[in-house]
Amino acid sequence: MDKFKQTIFRFIKEWSLIAPGDRILIACSGGVDSVALLHFMASNQDSMEIEVAAIHVDHNLRGEESAADGTFVARLCEVYGIPFFGGSVPVPAIIEKDGGNVQAVCRNGRYAFFEEIMTKHGYDVLATAHHAEDQLETVLMQVTKGSQPLGMSVKREVEGGVLIRPFLPAMKANLYSYVGEHELHFREDPSNESDAYLRNRYRHKIVPFILDENPGAAENAVRMSGYLQEDEELLEMLAQERFDEITKFTEAGLPVVDGNAFSRMHQTLQRRIITLLLRYLYNGEIMPVKYNSALISQLLHHLSSQDGNVSIHLPRGYRFIREYGVLTFVRDTSIEEVELQKVLPKGVWTRWGNDFQLYWNEVSNLDTELFMDTDDIMYFDLPHSALPLSIRRRKDGDRILLPGMTHPKRLSRLFIDEKVGMTERDRLPVIITAQGEICAVPGVRYGVIFSRHKTDQSKYIVSTRKL
């Protein structure tokens, strides 16, 4: 067995990435990395007792050239005798209609399609071809942004199964050698050469310098980030155990913490318990970055202190109270509550809380003076049975079908991706149809039925303005 094969199999075994009976979907762009992974997995599927298929997504960014990438991958699958799943995400159209970051739109659409195919066709593992230099780039970007340098997960849960990265111990040169040895063809994406993307700037300007100083730096990053991920997993488990031991709940379901027990813990566990408390309060959502540092530090100081009584206002109407060594979280009733739901009448401005007004009408009935000071104007069409529209607060489990996606996205995930602050989320209006389907969150994102440009099919217009 050659050295490359030994390295990959050893890594797969060390991290328990693959087990006999797994049905594995290989994400293949047609580039050298993913072609090497596809060939490696297809060639070894019998000995590993697994099933392999390939999946490819065309982002419609390079016209016929990107379409040809999918055809290329499909033909590889014919040669290997494995299933092929192809899909597309109209990224340029999404960007023109809704704006956003190109790479983020690509990634969101791509993974939505991956998860859809995994669920529909029973594949429980998704494999990507990230390698050692990719991990080094990720660690460096995380350090630059002030995040923990955990790198990309060796494996993590996704909707439908688990994502694995079996090529992380391999260098890019190893992959070129592999495709050369097996006389494999692959395709080059010219966007990989563009320094318009942050990762490419690290790849072209910073990583080569580091590898010149130490050729083993990328493998070191893989090893270091792997250890850190294991440490983080252990600390999270210990924090959860301590959280369960020192936390009780009121009749309203709000946590009450034993302050004395909390103050005796190591600060590393204290920080993680605070994170668990915040996730519990905010329905499992991860706090946005802008809250992490200041809020966690403030709570850490007051939770671990025994001096006096303290009351702290938290995002979205919660309050932390420390009284006589007991740490309690309560709902601040002084915060104005937005109505739960109301019909959105056609042709009049409707107030929502203290923050928004919304208006919708038929395009043919427009009064242009109504829109002189609006923040957002969108056009749409709906069947009469979907009317009237209503507005309400968000609810747990809410989902919205966005342009370019094949299945609805959770609002909680959308708010995180769009960096919507915790205090804003319950104040935002959610527009629903008569059947209760969510079609828009004005000020954040609009669903597939909306367009920023008026067309012949645009029967209605909706507008939002902040007060």
Strands (E), 212-340: 247-249, 255-258, 310-313, 318-323, 326-331
- The whole-model pTM stands at 0.68
Q: How far apart are the C-alpha atoms of 432 and 452, rounded to whole Å?
A: 19
Task: Output the pLDDT for position 335.
Answer: 43
Q: How far apart are the C-alpha atoms of 125 and 117, rounded to whole Å?
A: 11
Which is it for strands 399-400 and 409-410: parallel, antiparallel or unpaired?
Answer: antiparallel
- The helix/strand/coil state of 390 is strand
pLDDT digits 0-9 by tens, 189-238: 777 777 877 888 999 999 999 999 999 999 999 999 999 999 999 999 99
Which is it for strands 51-58 and 23-27: parallel, antiparallel or unpaired?
Answer: parallel
Question: Is residue 370 predicted with pLDDT exceeding 70?
Answer: no
**Four-point Cα dihedral 423, 427, 429, 434, nearest 10:** 110
pLDDT digits 0-9 by tens, 418-430: 877 655 777 789 9
Torsion-angle region of 142 (φ positive above 0: left; ψ -120 to 50: alpha; else: beta) = alpha
**C-alpha gyration radius of the chain:** 26
Mean of pLDDT over the chain = 86
Question: Is residue 291 predicted with pLDDT exceeding 70?
Answer: no
Task: Output the pLDDT for position 11.
Answer: 96
pLDDT digits 0-9 by tens, 318-335: 778 887 778 888 876 544
Task: Using pLDDT thresholds of 50, 70 and 90, give the confidence band for residue 8.
Answer: very high
Task: Output the pLDDT for position 286.
Answer: 54
DSSP of 337-365, one letter per residue? PPPSEEE--TTS-EEETTTEEEEEEEGGG
Residues 6+ apart with CB under 8 A from 360: 344, 346, 389, 460, 461, 462, 463
pLDDT digits 0-9 by tens, 61-97: 888 888 899 999 999 999 999 999 999 888 888 887 7
Angle at 236 between CA 230 and CA 242, to 5 degrees: 140
